[in-house]
Amino acid sequence: MKKKFSHTQDWEIISKYLSGEMTESELEVFEAEMAINPSYAEAIKASGKDLTHVDLYLANEAFDSEDAWFNVKSRLIDKQGSTPKLKIIKPSPFKNFMRVAASIIILFGIGLLAQTTYIHLNPNKIFVCETGEASKSIKLDDGSVITLNTNSKLIYPRKFNQNERRVKLIGEAFFDIAKDPNKAFIINAKDAEVKVLGTSFNINAATNKVEVLVKTGKVQFSSINKPENKLILIPGDFASLQESNIKKVEIRDDNYLSWKTRQMIFRGTKLQEVAKVLNRTYQVQIRFQDAEIKDFSLTTTFDHDPLDDILNYMCSPFNLVYEKKGKLILIKKAN
């Protein structure tokens, strides 16, 4: 799960990064945050410039003050021929302290202003599950848990407004939404909108259509382009939207949610179809050396089994073996 940063901590974290005081583990977490949150990178770039400007100002001011004193002293000596009897007051340690403190306050103010500006310009955060990664989950401030499938992205506000909880989905995700009767949770996915008060369901917008499968509760599924086209879905309902048209259909895939549940059921299923489910669940690419292998059928169930155990079980009855090269798996007849 992505490490959560609060707004009040953002500047402290950036300051720690700029000062080089982060541990290796803290640095690794922060760099991962920067990878999915461009506003951090922008904040660091601008804050670094601010620090440079302040350092140059203070350095130049200190140098000029010293140089000015020597210039005055030299002129007095040239005019009078001797060092004048001037009352020299040594700078008070307290005044030096206050000067440094004032500089720090100014610097902190610059950083705080920069932070406020970046939050205003970047009101959203982005949570990403990269291609080839296993599913990843995030818990939002309202308690809702969203699990992303591979190659998917969730865009959500730093803070929900008073009237609704609205996010945007690119790809596929399973939503377990915390109940709030006074604030609907709304997901925009392509040209579809899904509105709930508290329930669990899956949205797949990774293809040319948007699909919704409801597990618990009630969901309103509608078209953004044609809001009058909408359906109320209850547990077990499966619907799709394509070109603003919504229809409820019967789901025939027992393994539709296997990418999240890691549970699979096969009833006389051809190995070609088994491979598709495994590819989707474990983010691999299974290939067959001989076309006839694809038609072998398998009847069994799996529940959070390691991929190697599944492949061995799949190959054994048919005297097959498999070779792995990274994400690519080749299934062939044993010699």
234: how many CB neighbours lie within 10 A of its CB?
A: 11
Positive or negative CA dihedral for 309, 310, 313, 314?
Answer: negative
Please give the model's pTM, rounded to 2 decimal places.
0.64
Over residues 133-164, the pLDDT tens digits come to: 889 999 999 999 999 999 999 999 988 988 99
- pLDDT value, residue 36: 55
Q: What is the pLDDT of residue 66?
A: 52
* Rounded alpha-carbon distances, angstroms, from residue 128 to 34, 57, 86, 158, 285: 12, 41, 69, 15, 22
pLDDT digits 0-9 by tens, 81-114: 554 454 555 556 655 565 556 666 656 665 655 5
For residue 1, the model assigns a pLDDT of 40
Question: Given this model, what pLDDT does residue 2 score?
Answer: 41
Q: According to the CATH classification, is domain 258-333 in 2.40.420.20?
A: no
> Given a cut of 70, is residue 293 above it in pLDDT?
yes
Indicate if 258-333 has the same CATH topology as 124-249: no
How many angstroms separate the CA atoms of 87 and 300, rounded?
97
Q: In what order do the strands lie in the sheet with 230-233?
A: 124-129, 152-157, 164-170, 184-189, 192-196, 219-223, 230-233
Q: Where are the domains of the chain?
A: 7-121, 124-249, 258-333
* CATH for the 124-249 domain, from 2.60.120.10, 3.40.50.1700, 3.40.640.10, 2.60.120.1440: 2.60.120.1440
- 249 phi and psi angles, rounded to 5 deg: -130, 165
- Determine the average pLDDT of the residues in 54-81: 50
What pLDDT shows up at residue 81? 53
Mean pLDDT across the chain:
80
